[in-house]
């Protein structure tokens, strides 16, 4: 007959009890997970110098604070949740970029008004900033294009250094000057916008105390969002709120 000393029996029993203690949150998954997320929210609220709501305090009390509250991440396949594919409306960003060029272009043309004569912005174009000279002459068009083109800034792309300019200006005999973003600038704007959008989405999801979300870029202009445990896509949309430059699918 096997004989184990008392200290070995105590060690085995102790390890089993510790295992049961740390596994307990997974047996009472909803209560432990809700309490853990509520405590995260309470910490964020208190960090802002505000008082937590009674609802948050009630959720935190669903699981004893002296017990472990870590639970396994079950993922969408086991626990369910919400799945969204977000598309960044980068065309709106390009348009805003072009609209923002007008004040500087107007000031540059005013500085050479004696040469270019009267001018005005043509509204309605979405892919270019369009300026019309009222008295187009070859000299006026050339001076106007040069004045606007001088505003273009170099585009930096990582370790490659300067790889182009932010925009191109071109004029025709009809006195219409079109300012368009270069392909290099469009690519740079896309990367900046995607990085900012990912950060916005990640921050909003994290602030809600959501457990183990998946937030990653998918393709050129889309962001995949998977949040286990959340009730529905509508709840996730409410969590994200009105996020500029994003459309939801």
Tens-digit pLDDT profile for residues 112-150 = 999 999 999 998 888 899 999 998 899 999 999 999 999
Residue 75's pLDDT band (cuts 50, 70, 90)? low
Cα–Cα distance for residue pair 249/247, rounded to 1 Å: 7
Asked if pLDDT for residue 231 goes beyond 90, the answer is no
Helical H runs in 117-182? 138-149
Average pLDDT over residues 159-169: 76
Question: What pLDDT is attached to residue 159?
Answer: 56
Which CA distances in Å does 168 have to 38, 124, 153, 172, 192? 53, 19, 10, 14, 20
Whole-number percent of the chain with pLDDT over 70? 84
224 vs 246 pLDDT, higher one: 224
Average pLDDT over residues 212-236: 80
Asked if pLDDT for residue 31 goes beyond 90, the answer is no
Average pLDDT over residues 41-45: 79
57 vs 242 pLDDT, higher one: 57
Asked if pLDDT for residue 111 goes beyond 70, the answer is yes
Asked if pLDDT for residue 249 goes beyond 50, the answer is no
Cα–Cα distance for residue pair 98/178, rounded to 1 Å: 11
Cα–Cα distance for residue pair 28/125, rounded to 1 Å: 59
Q: Could you say which DSSP state residue 23 is in?
A: H
Residue 229's pLDDT band (cuts 50, 70, 90)? low
Asked if pLDDT for residue 188 goes beyond 70, the answer is yes
Asked if pLDDT for residue 68 goes beyond 70, the answer is yes
Coil, helix or strand for 131?
strand
């Amino acid at each position: 007959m096997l004989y184990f000393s008392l200290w070995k029996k105590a060690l085995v029993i102790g390890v089993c009890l510790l295992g049961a203690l740390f596994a307990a949150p997974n047996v009472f998954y909803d209560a432990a997970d809700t309490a853990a997320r509520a405590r995260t929210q309470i910490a964020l609220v208190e960090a802002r110098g505000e008082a937590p709501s009674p609802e948050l305090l009630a959720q935190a009390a669903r699981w004893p604070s002296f017990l472990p509250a870590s639970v396994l991440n079950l993922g969408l396949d086991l626990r369910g949740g919400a799945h969204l594919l977000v598309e960044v409306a980068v065309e709106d960003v390009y348009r805003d970029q072009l609209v923002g060029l007008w004040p500087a272009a107007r000031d540059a043309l005013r500085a050479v008004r004696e040469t270019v004569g009267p001018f005005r912005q043509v509204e309605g174009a979405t892919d270019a900033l369009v300026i019309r000279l009222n008295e187009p002459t070859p000299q006026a068009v050339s001076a106007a294009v040069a004045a606007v083109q001088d505003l273009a800034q170099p585009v930096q792309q990582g370790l490659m250094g300067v790889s182009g300019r932010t925009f191109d200006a071109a004029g025709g005999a009809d006195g219409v000057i079109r300012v368009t973003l270069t392909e290099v600038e469009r690519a740079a704007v896309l990367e900046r916008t995607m990085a900012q959008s990912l950060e916005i989405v990640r921050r909003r999801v994290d602030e809600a105390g959501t457990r183990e979300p998946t937030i990653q870029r998918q393709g050129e202009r889309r962001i995949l969002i998977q949040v286990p445990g959340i009730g529905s896509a509508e709840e996730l949309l409410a969590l994200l709120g009105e996020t500029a430059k994003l459309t939801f699918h």
